[in-house]
Structure 1
Amino acid sequence: MTETLQDSVASTNTVATDRTSRPPYAVAPHLAPRLARRVLSSPGAESIECVTPFTGGVLATLPGSTVEDVEVAYKTARKAQRKWAATPVRDRARFLLKLHDLVLKNQNELMDLIQLESGKTRRNAFEEVMDVAGVSRHYARRAHHYLKPRRALGAVPVLTQTRVLHHPKGVVGVVAPWNYPLSMSITDALPALVAGNAVVLRPDSQSALTALRAVELIDQAGLPTGLLQVVLGSGATVGQAVLDQADYVMFTGSTKTGIGVAQRAAERLVGASMELGGKNAMYVAADANLSKAADGAVRACFSSAGQLCISIERLIVHESVADEFTKLFVKKVQAMKLGSDLDWGNDMGSLISKNQLKTVVDHVENAKANGAVVLAGGKARPDLGPYFFEPTVLANVPDSATCRRCETFGPLVSIYRVSSDKEAIDFANDSEYGLNASVWTKRVLRGRQIAAQIKAGTVNINEGYVAAWGSNGAPMGGMGQSGLGRRHGSEGIVKYTESQNVAAQHVMPIAPSFGVPEKLWAKTMSVGLRAMKLGRLS
């Protein structure tokens, strides 16, 4: 971090904060040069400037990578992967528990980096620390169970003995987004590694410092050299090269880009898992605890300034409680504290960039021009930083407004009224996306019944997104235009493997034998098939 940036932050931060205990931005001056050594880079490659959205200032300069560097990364990874694949799963998973402890031990430095690169609050940065620790612990404990050989019912009971094995794909290409610098840079790579693969990782340039620090911690946790290669560069060149050489593709980003990624993977008959866009809905039922629902809505809509694939952008409220809920919610939104200091207490931080700010401004102005009413927020806050925008609540948003169906990916939510649970479900499903949803009701059974009818990969009851996201033993992913595949749980690690069926036949073949005529053999087998049905054998 440059001295100029520290001076800039000290002078532009408008939130009163006690800075006597540590510098405004507590990042060691030697951090970037040290982390730069973890990037595979050739002489002459374009360097990358890491910029903080809090001020627009440069945090550090890192070396970039070339397409040729990506080729070297894959060559190195493939060589290391061969030995790693032969290592027992329990041994492969050992580094995860050490990583769990290292992440918690270094959480303050990690949260500093997360905030600096993404613009989010301390609390939202801590969510990423919890996520990485949780994912590490889960796969450390459960990977062996998910991947161990298992018996399956054979073609002929007793005579056919079948085992299912899981072999690693090879080298997994991971292209990570900027919005969750710590979490999204490595939590998809961890199960891929434990499954016996190597990984070539391209973090977004905006989140490179955090990602590299996380990779450094993985190294310290004991992952063998060569298995995790890191390259930096634009998505169109370096990112594409990573995906084009992968034995399996893991991508998180926009739906538009994801479609292109899927097409290129399909041309090579390579599997892909992708978490893409969302236009997530939250339903406040007539019997909901409105105070808790309003608090939950603030978190669900404005965490990370709404730059979260699973954040809520559509609030659907039963008409019998709409007035009371809206009043409570708007009051809480108006009381939110915005700020850029690296400390606890702020409710929302900054948007990531000028382009993201423009999208939010355009969506708000378009909605207003089409008749929408601003209930809270609606303005940029350059007094706080170049990309700050107030948490904004809209009402009376018509179908013609851009933000009615298009993902904003910012601190903007619209409120809609419905007269029944069925209407709420239909409204929630009236979208090409299907990533996340939320249902608020005092009766959990009712919530489960509603949730089962919503077309979304995750549905939270009496919570916005954290309950499903943090449940590492259960799958998480999107339906429709929100993606392919799942992360977390068994699906989140088995996807990185090739399933193999090894069937051993005993005593006699599944064919006429011992001189039995074919016709008699067929009749005998028919009797056996009927017996298997009666015996409820699948």
Structure 2
Amino acid sequence: MTTTEPHTAGTTTPKGPTPTTGARQGSAPERPELNRLARRVDLLDDDRPQHTVMSPIDGSALGLMPIGTVDDVTAALAGARRAQRMWAETSTKERAAILADYADLVLDHREELCDLIQLENGKSRAWAFEEVADTTITARYYAKKGPRLLAETKRASAFPGLITTIERRVPKGVVGIISPWNYPLSLAVGDAIAALMAGNGVVIKPDSQTPYTALRAVELLEQAGLPKGLMRVVTGQGRVVGTAIIEGADYVMFTGSSETGAKIAQQSAARLVDFSAELGGKNAMVITDDIDIERAARLATIACFANSGQLCISIERIYVLQEVAARFMDAFAEATAALRLGAEVGYGPEMGPLASQDQLDKMREHVTDAVAKGARVLSGGNARPDLAPWFHEPTILVDVPENADVYRGETFGPLVSIYPVANVDEAVAAANDTEYGLNASVLCNNASRGRAIARRLQAGTVNVNDGYAAAWSSLDAPMGGVGVSGVGRRHGAVGLLKYTESQNISTRSHLLDLVQRPSHPKEYAERLSAALRLQKYLPF
């Protein structure tokens, strides 16, 4: 690919075995721990075709994973439903204690989990640990908040003292979770934590590229005290296993593309089953003219290239005021060029490879198309097979025309486009000119001004002076998208209560008969009218 004097990012030499094309079908590589995890997949029997899981670190085969069937999903749902009946009777304090113990176990097994995440996803160690930390925080949050949020609540009635009303939270039953490959711990088990706290059983279909982390997490949950069989994992193709989960679960949680999310919405609606989905994004950052340039460059580097850009809430568009645009672009390009690139299990590189050939192809297509239509590469721009089979440099584009695919389309990789703008109004209008609305960012020296700009952006979350982590880590607040970026929310009270049905139990006093059953209808109307006039003095 031809670029215009691109900056070249720093690299580290990849470690590990020589890349291969994968294991021979039917024979698992010599990785006993991974082979053991594969045997935990819920199957009716062992007679299943197998899928070779490849590592983005070096292209080697990690192991063989069974390809589940509709019957396997049906059996897993039935088994989880049997276990759920007893789990629903378990007190919320007991459930919370298990989640708290699970959080401790995740930290105890931190390095092992980071190894698994890196092996099957390829991300650098820092972002693998981010998943460990996120899962721990999520488990602790719902362990502490869950019992209170799920407690029976007294509700007001039209006739205080004459009708007593309570609201109960009843588990949905079995929650189906279809999780993606980009965060194999956070987005598989993180969503399950709230569902379990609410008293549900769970059946997970992890992405075929990243099944091992979810399987190990289920083991740790059971070690913490979760009843065996309550949480089950079935691996396989989305159109088979995923569809069967959607057709059999009592609630569906999905994280993935907007296109697939729309199909799941139709399938769930046909059964009148509720669902929640975090979908795609073309997330924008607005940089004002009062920002510290070096700080903005550092924050933008994380916002755009964390997890190799394979993050639903990653920034892919930057609108920077013209007064500081040139200085910001220079500083941002320099910071991007300084990133340590590499593919290895362990601490070292700041950015790892992409997770698959498909992701690399999409990245190359967007860069090639944009350059062909007049865009200029400010930094990066090239695939790096010398580092790993699916590696691409973090890339910054400028002068991107509106007819370029990357202008509106989500890349889901380490690619960002910069657009200088005349003023904040133009920045806000451009940021909102999208069908997506997942995440946004404002970098502004004046926090009050930054929040004022944030309120004008059409996104489910907006971070002021951060890219994404501030909003994501604020677990007490809901997280999700608007437009084609999602339906429903995770995190906070709503992230727990969505996995429940509300039940109204109201008890009538016999004293109400004196008001509701007078000897004459006119007398009834007069008495009720008097009572209704008095309601305005009640504190609700």
TM-score normalised to the size of structure 1? 0.93
Which residue of the partner structure matches residue 29 of structure 1? Answer: 31
Specify every segment of 5 or more residues in structure 1 that has no aligned partner in the other structure, as ranges.
1-13, 20-26
Which residue of the partner structure matches residue 387 of structure 2? Answer: 384
Match of 2:42 among 25, 29, 40: 40
State how far apart, in whole Å, the 2-side matches of 1:188 and 1:36 are.
Answer: 22
Report if the CA contact (8 A) 1:40-1:69 is conserved. yes
Which residue of the partner structure matches residue 289 of structure 2? Answer: 286
Report if the CA contact (8 A) 1:138-1:472 is conserved. yes
State how far apart, in whole Å, the 2-side matches of 1:320 and 1:299 are.
Answer: 23
Report if the CA contact (8 A) 1:32-1:62 is conserved. no
2:137 matches 1:134: yes
2:469 matches 1:472: no
- Listed as ranges, the matches of 1:94-105 within 5 Å are 94-105=97-108
Deviates more, 1:47-56 or 1:514-523: 514-523
Deviates more, 1:340-349 or 1:521-530: 521-530
Q: 1:528 to 1:68 in 2, by over 3 A?
A: same
How far the C-alpha of 1:450 sits from its partner, in A, is: 1.5
State how far apart, in whole Å, the 2-side matches of 1:440 and 1:300 are.
Answer: 11
- Listed as ranges, the matches of 1:482-501 within 5 Å are 482-501=485-504
SS of 2:103's partner is: helix
- Listed as ranges, the matches of 1:345-424 within 5 Å are 345-424=348-427
Q: 1:466 to 1:511 in 2, by over 3 A?
A: farther
Report if the CA contact (8 A) 2:353-2:388 is conserved. yes
State how far apart, in whole Å, the 2-side matches of 1:312 and 1:465 are.
Answer: 8
Report if the CA contact (8 A) 2:291-2:445 is conserved. yes
Which residue of the partner structure matches residue 63 of structure 1? Answer: 66
State how far apart, in whole Å, the 2-side matches of 1:139 and 1:189 are.
Answer: 11
State how far apart, in whole Å, the 2-side matches of 1:514 and 1:484 are.
Answer: 46
Q: 1:379 to 1:16 in 2, by over 3 A?
A: closer
Report if the CA contact (8 A) 2:14-2:342 is conserved. no
How far the C-alpha of 1:333 sits from its partner, in A, is: 0.8
How far the C-alpha of 1:105 sits from its partner, in A, is: 1.1
State how far apart, in whole Å, the 2-side matches of 1:179 and 1:139 are.
Answer: 23
Q: 1:512 to 1:30 in 2, by over 3 A?
A: same
Report if the CA contact (8 A) 1:398-1:404 is conserved. yes
How far the C-alpha of 1:156 sits from its partner, in A, is: 2.2
State how far apart, in whole Å, the 2-side matches of 1:232 and 1:90 are.
Answer: 32
Which residue of the partner structure matches residue 11 of structure 1? Answer: none
Match of 1:425 among 405, 425, 428: 428
How far the C-alpha of 1:221 sits from its partner, in A, is: 1.0
SS of 1:187's partner is: helix
Specify every segment of 5 or more residues in structure 2 that has no aligned partner in the other structure, as ranges.
1-10, 17-28
Which residue of the partner structure matches residue 6 of structure 2? Answer: none
Report if the CA contact (8 A) 2:315-2:440 is conserved. yes
Q: 1:529 to 1:327 in 2, by over 3 A?
A: farther
State how far apart, in whole Å, the 2-side matches of 1:257 and 1:346 are.
Answer: 33
SS of 1:205's partner is: coil
Letter in 2 for 1:175: I
Report if the CA contact (8 A) 2:515-2:527 is conserved. no
SS of 1:188's partner is: helix
Q: 1:281 to 1:384 in 2, by over 3 A?
A: same
Report if the CA contact (8 A) 1:39-1:64 is conserved. no
State how far apart, in whole Å, the 2-side matches of 1:135 and 1:482 are.
Answer: 22
Report if the CA contact (8 A) 2:31-2:63 is conserved. no
State how far apart, in whole Å, the 2-side matches of 1:334 and 1:482 are.
Answer: 31
Deviates more, 1:519-528 or 1:264-273: 519-528
Post-superposition Cα deviations, 1:475-504, rounded to whole Å, max 9, x if no partner, equal 111111011111111011100000111222
2:209 matches 1:212: no
2:260 matches 1:271: no
Report if the CA contact (8 A) 2:476-2:491 is conserved. yes
2:90 matches 1:93: no
Which residue of the partner structure matches residue 446 of structure 1? Answer: 449
State how far apart, in whole Å, the 2-side matches of 1:316 and 1:236 are.
Answer: 39
SS of 1:293's partner is: helix
How far the C-alpha of 1:382 sits from its partner, in A, is: 1.0
Which residue of the partner structure matches residue 255 of structure 1? Answer: 258
How far the C-alpha of 1:33 sits from its partner, in A, is: 2.5
How far the C-alpha of 1:160 sits from its partner, in A, is: 2.6
Deviates more, 1:329-338 or 1:37-46: 37-46
Post-superposition Cα deviations, 1:504-537, rounded to whole Å, max 9, x if no partner, equal 233444896453532343344344434434x375
Report if the CA contact (8 A) 2:437-2:483 is conserved. yes
How far the C-alpha of 1:172 sits from its partner, in A, is: 0.4
TM-score normalised to the size of structure 2? 0.92
Q: 1:464 to 1:159 in 2, by over 3 A?
A: same
Deviates more, 1:248-257 or 1:414-423: 414-423
Match of 1:107 among 110, 131, 141: 110
Which residue of the partner structure matches residue 313 of structure 1? Answer: 316
Post-superposition Cα deviations, 1:57-102, rounded to whole Å, max 9, x if no partner, equal 1011123321111111011111111111111111112111111111
Match of 2:507 among 504, 508, 511: 504
Post-superposition Cα deviations, 1:415-470, rounded to whole Å, max 9, x if no partner, equal 11222222222221111111111111122222222112211111111111111111
State how far apart, in whole Å, the 1-side matches of 2:375 and 2:307 are.
Answer: 24
Q: 1:537 to 1:422 in 2, by over 3 A?
A: farther
State how far apart, in whole Å, the 1-side matches of 2:538 and 2:396 are.
Answer: 56
How far the C-alpha of 1:28 sits from its partner, in A, is: 9.1
Q: 1:514 to 1:101 in 2, by over 3 A?
A: closer
Letter in 1 for 2:328: F
Letter in 2 for 1:265: S
Aligned length: 517
Deviates more, 1:258-267 or 1:158-167: 158-167
Deviates more, 1:344-353 or 1:509-518: 509-518
